[in-house]
Amino acid sequence: MHSSRLSEVNARDEREKDYFDEMAKKLEAEDIIDPELYTKYNVKKGLRNANGTGVLAGLTRIGNVHGYEKGPAGEKLPVEGQLYYRGYEIQDLVSHYIKEERFGFEEITYLLLFGELPTEDQLTEFNGKIAERRNLPEGFARNMIMTQPSHSIMNKIMRSVLALYSYDDDPDNISPANVLSQEMNLIGYFPAIIAYCYQAKSLFFDNQSMHLHPPIPELSTAENILRMLRPTGEFDPFEARVLDLALILQAEHGGGNNSAFATYLLSSSATDTYSVIASAVGALKGPRHGGANIAVIKMIEDLKANVKDITNKKEVDQYLVKVLNKEANDGTGLIYGIGHAVYTLSDPRAEILKGMAQELAHKKGMDDDFALCEQIADRGPELFTQVTGIEKPMCANVDLYSGLVYEALDIPKDMSTPLFATARLSGWCAHRLEEIITGKKLIRPSYKGVQDPRPYVALSDRKETARPTSVVKATTAPPAPIMKK
């Protein structure tokens, strides 16, 4: 490009940046709402109660998360965490898969969808249905994934799910039978979708070789994922069982988590399955939800880069104190992998995965990495109290050990949230069916307007005024009612 033309483009880009920076500052002043107003009007910001618990917004038979009891004054009383899938305790389910050394994710998917554990014949039939759906529609990978890659795998997964609408002869039919058929397609397709989205991203954005392996219908979800992610397609049976366990533990977490609630919300509008699942993927992508597992991985990487000896407990403690003081890692003051919105004394998923992670780490020569996770789990809550002066129960969550598992399995860092989506798809599909069958009412919460009425000013009479730097106080009168003649 000619130098004068380049200078002109750069100047234009700079003006554009200045404009949006200036307008954003105005919005930051204009859109602030005084926190006292939430108290005044008894509005539960973030659908959270004052003690941090979620506002009860619905009922479900699919999953139940139990992490605290309520005291006489409504306070949270810490208890050991429990997680139930259709009434079955997760520890009870997983113990049998580990003991029998068999894959359980497909059986868990059946349980979540249909509400009961399958017989051997029913499971064989169900696995056969999924096997028939492992291969993507003809030309889909080439036309929808490879020709339009994205640096965000989660974004590309959303677009791929939406694109499947065009391959469906009856996409807007929301009868339970048709929705179930659509969901079975998605469950079958998902390993190939996430693997091909990753391979496209690796080639076009990371300058890495692309290795495309077709799925093998007879293999489990975990086996197919490892096969399609790895250059040679080879994997160890134990590795696949560990990944299968991780998928089981992330398949469902009640109806109140952000992505499950998005599933209910969109399903209540009677929209199509592809729009619903794409929205759930979008919700999970956020760093405050499913993207949190990447935050753990990045924190561990930063710790290793700044601590000379990760086996030196004193040095690790010093790093964690710096994190809490916002002097290390991303400056948020958070030790990722510690604490949970519901669980207090323990996260049952973390307790289960911890055992398998330890065995896998030993096989991979990563005993020091496992010991590091153990120290973060043990010392994180104590150091938090020392630094902040706040005493509250904080347990290791599943993200702490899932990060170690993915590293030990040589799974790329940016595949951690797509794997989460693959697991949680089973829960989303179950919640969508539940809403279609028993909900039948548009979810329509209310927001209270707190902007004062203002008279219209003619364009020729308007003058630019400085935006307020402070928020409108709670004493501001509520908007006057609009009177109809």
Instruction: Quote the CA–CA distance of 125 and 31 in Å, as a whole number.
Output: 54
Instruction: Quote the CA–CA distance of 65 and 81 in Å, as a whole number.
Output: 8
Instruction: Quote the CA–CA distance of 313 and 375 in Å, as a whole number.
Output: 8
**CA triplet 83, 77, 338: central angle to 5 degrees?**
60
76: enclosing H helix or E strand = strand 76-85
Quick one: average pLDDT of 152-180?
97
Task: Write down the pLDDT at residue 70.
Answer: 87
Question: Above 70 in pLDDT, residue 485?
Answer: no
pLDDT class of 479 with cuts at 50, 70, 90: very low
Quick one: average pLDDT of 54-78?
91
> CATH top-level class for 293-407?
mainly alpha
| From 17-21, 27-31, 182-186, the region with the lowest mean pLDDT | 27-31
What is the location of CATH 1.10.230.10 in the chain?
Answer: 293-407
Q: Which two tokens stand for residue 44?
A: 């539960």
pLDDT tens-digit series, residues 72-85: 887 889 999 999 99
Q: Which two tokens stand for residue 59?
A: 């009922």
Beta bridge partners of 82: 66
> Does domain 105-291+415-439 match CATH 1.10.580.10?
yes
Quick one: average pLDDT of 440-469?
87
Quick one: average pLDDT of 407-414?
94
Instruction: Tell me the pLDDT of the chain averaged across its residues.
Output: 92
Q: Which two tokens stand for residue 42?
A: 């008894």
Question: Above 50 in pLDDT, residue 170?
Answer: yes
CA distances from 25 to 53, 266, 464 (A): 32, 32, 15
Quick one: average pLDDT of 293-318?
94
Task: Write down the pLDDT at residue 480.
Answer: 41
Task: Write down the pLDDT at residue 482.
Answer: 38
Active site residues: 340, 399
pLDDT tens-digit series, residues 311-326: 999 999 999 999 999 9
Asked if 352 and 77 count as a contact pair (C-beta separation under 8 A), the reply is no
pLDDT tens-digit series, residues 177-193: 999 999 999 999 999 99
Task: Write down the pLDDT at residue 483.
Answer: 36
pLDDT class of 484 with cuts at 50, 70, 90: very low
pLDDT tens-digit series, residues 352-394: 999 999 999 999 999 999 999 999 999 999 999 999 999 989 9
What is the location of CATH 1.10.580.10 in the chain?
Answer: 105-291+415-439
| From 25-39, 167-181, 412-426, 454-468, the region with the lowest mean pLDDT | 454-468
Q: Tell me the one-letter amino acid at 155.
A: N
Buried b (16+ CB within 10 A) or exposed e, 302-325: ebeeebeebeeeeebbebbbbbbe
Residue 234 burial class via C-beta count within 10 angstroms: exposed 0-12, middle 13-18, buried 19 and up = exposed
Alpha helical stretches, state H, 77-220: 90-100, 105-114, 120-131, 140, 153-163, 176-206
Q: Which two tokens stand for residue 60?
A: 């479900």
